[in-house]
Amino acid sequence: MNETPAQSNGRPIAERVATRLLYPTSRPRAKTLREAVDGKVVLVTGASHGIGKASARKLGAAGAIVLLVARSADDLRQVAAEIEADGGTAHVYPADLTDMDAVERLARQFLDEHGHIDVVINNAGKSIRRSISDSYDRFHDFTRTIDINYLGPVRLLLTLLPDMRERKQGHIVNISTWGVLMPPAPQWAAYGASKSAFDVWLRSVAAEVSGDGVATTSIYMPLVHTRMSAPTDFSRVPGLTVDEASDLVCHAVTTRPREIAPWWSAPVQAWTNLTRNQVQRFFERGRSLLPGSSSRT
């Protein structure tokens, strides 16, 4: 594709500059990533598309034994084939993470077949943007987001955590969203509540398991241009590519920080805590300007 002078990497230069300033990312050195993951068993949920797929490929290329989970078996097999073509090792586990019995069976299968899990990348997720007036007859929007974004990962970790604690090692990386650090945005009730639920769960559990050598990292991911964000028109909003987002995941795996968040989120949080009522009024005044609902399905 020919790029115009005002474009770079398929994106307008202004957007790339804004993205660099708002969400600086850096790619871990290949040697550093390899030292961190070579021979380690790394589970990636939601590995068939988007951020999970890109992360699984980079971790696999760096020598991790990658366990790939999602519903689309063919897509997972394709990702595994790509990892193996790069010289890596990948195992495919097609599963619906909203089926709690299946999730428990799957977690036991991981332990039976691989002995242990070193790193869990909790990435599978579903986003819905829908106004409350469009949701009165859609209770299932709330159950399906809570199932995949909260209950599924809780069910998975309840089975994996005892082994990690006993071995005194493990790392859980959660792909959260910067939205949970901000005042609740209109139309994101189902998604925001479900992502916040797991964020709180993990941070609470982190305090209990860190003494047993189990680290946790919450990545408060900014907008990433994927099939998930595509139904909402974010085309002109600065956001990361999946390549940049997966660099953040690899950075989390190598350095194991408690959290990774945009640099401006702490001051914005402090300011919004001070001006909570005004922010709420701002959202209330702006509701007539909001676009319609959007979700991939």
Q: Which of 235, 224, 238 has the alpha carbon at shortest distance from 175?
A: 224
State the CB neighbour count (10 A cutoff) for residue 85.
10
Count of residues that bind ligand NAP according to CB under 6 A: 29
Question: According to the binding rule CB under 6 A, does residue 51 interact with ligand NAP?
Answer: yes
CB burial string 276-292: b at 16+ within 10 A, e below: eeebeeeeeeeeeeeee
Q: Which two tokens stand for residue 132?
A: 């409350």
Half-sphere exposure of 5 (CA within 13 A, CB side): 0
Q: Residue 89 CB, nearest distance to ligand NAP (Å)? A: 20
Q: How far is CA 38 from the centre of its chain?
A: 22
Q: Residue 281 CB, nearest distance to ligand NAP (Å)? A: 26
Site for ligand NAP in 132-171 (CB under 6 A): 148
Question: According to the binding rule CB under 6 A, does residue 228 interact with ligand NAP?
Answer: yes
Determine whether 150 is an active site residue: no
| Rg, Å, the chain Cα set | 19
Nearer to ligand NAP (CB atom), residue 218 or residue 229: 229
Question: According to the binding rule CB under 6 A, does residue 58 interact with ligand NAP?
Answer: no
Q: Residue 51 CB, nearest distance to ligand NAP (Å)? A: 4
Nearer to ligand NAP (CB atom), residue 78 or residue 169: 78
Q: Which of 263, 202, 195 has the alpha carbon at shortest distance from 228?
A: 195
Per-residue binder mask for ligand NAP (CB under 6 A), 168-197, x = binder: -------x-x--------------------
Which of 92, 214, 221, 250 is in the footprint of ligand NAP by CB under 6 A? 221
Q: Residue 93 CB, nearest distance to ligand NAP (Å)? A: 10
Q: Which amino acid is at 208?
A: E
The answer to whether 259 and 218 have CB atoms below 8 angstroms apart is yes
Helix (H, G, I), strand (E, B) or coil at 156: helix
Question: According to the binding rule CB under 6 A, does residue 72 interact with ligand NAP?
Answer: yes
Which of 14-22, 46-54, 77-85, 253-261 is the region at the interface with ligand NAP (rule: CB under 6 A)?
46-54
CA distance 233 to 241: 15
Select which of 23, 150, 191, 220 is catalytic: 191
Applying CB under 6 A, the residues found at the interface with ligand NAP are: 46-52, 70-72, 75, 96-98, 123-127, 148, 175, 177, 221, 223-224, 226-229
What are the catalytic residues?
191
